[in-house]
Chains A and B, each alone.
Chain A
Amino acid sequence: APASAPSNPSHFMKGAIIQLATGELKRVEDLQTQDFVRSAEVSGGLKIDSSMVVDIRASQQKPGLVSLHFTVGEQQSKVTIDVPPEHPFFVFGQGWSSCSPERTAQLYDLACHPLQVGDVCVSITLQQQP
């Protein structure tokens, strides 16, 4: 997915069928942390990163969007992305979370926790080639 999220992606709709890298099929609302960890392990070339939310503010560039500031991976690199408030992120050990759980429920019928500073989200990156 691009760094800034596309609008209304149907793969977040409750009931959407997701294929894990192991080939297993699960509904988006049933996914667990381990599903992402295991999928990254069996996917060649992709790596899971822990991305901690360090700041959440209204986007200056794009009205109506939210700027999420992360520190990503071991290098704690700073990355900022602009997303719609209802865009869900998978938080380790917690599940789906967004800046506006009410809007996420309206748009995708997906139950969410409120995304907060300090939450550690699942993100992916390319594995460094030796």
Chain B
Amino acid sequence: VPVFPWHSLVPFLAPTQSD
């Protein structure tokens, strides 16, 4: 059964990325 790390579930929104 595959096991996934918790941080694969949430987006990585680096503050340096802006519109």
Contact = CB atoms under 8 A, between A and B. Distances in A.
Interface of A: 1-3, 5, 9-12, 16-21, 25, 28, 31, 35-36, 39, 43, 46, 49, 51, 69-70, 72-73, 75, 77-81, 89-90, 121-126
Given A11-B9, A12-B9, A78-B19, A125 B14 contact: yes
Contacts, number: 95
Tell me if B's interface is mostly helix, strand, loop or mixed. Answer: loop
A90 B10 contact: yes
Contacts of A125: 12-15
Which of B7, B11, B13 is the most central at the interface, judged by chain A CB atoms within 10 Å of its CB? B11
B2 to A, nearest CB: 7
Contacts of A72: 13, 15
B6 to A, nearest CB: 5
Which bracket fits the contact residues of B?
A: 10 to 19
Contact of A51 (B3, B7, B8, B13): B13
Nearest to A43: B7
Given A1-B11, A77-B15, A124-B10, 20 more contacts: A1-B7, A3-B13, A11-B8, A11-B9, A17-B1, A17-B2, A18-B3, A19-B4, A19-B5, A25-B3, A31-B9, A39-B6, A49-B13, A51-B13, A77-B17, A77-B18, A78-B19, A79-B13, A79-B19, A123-B13
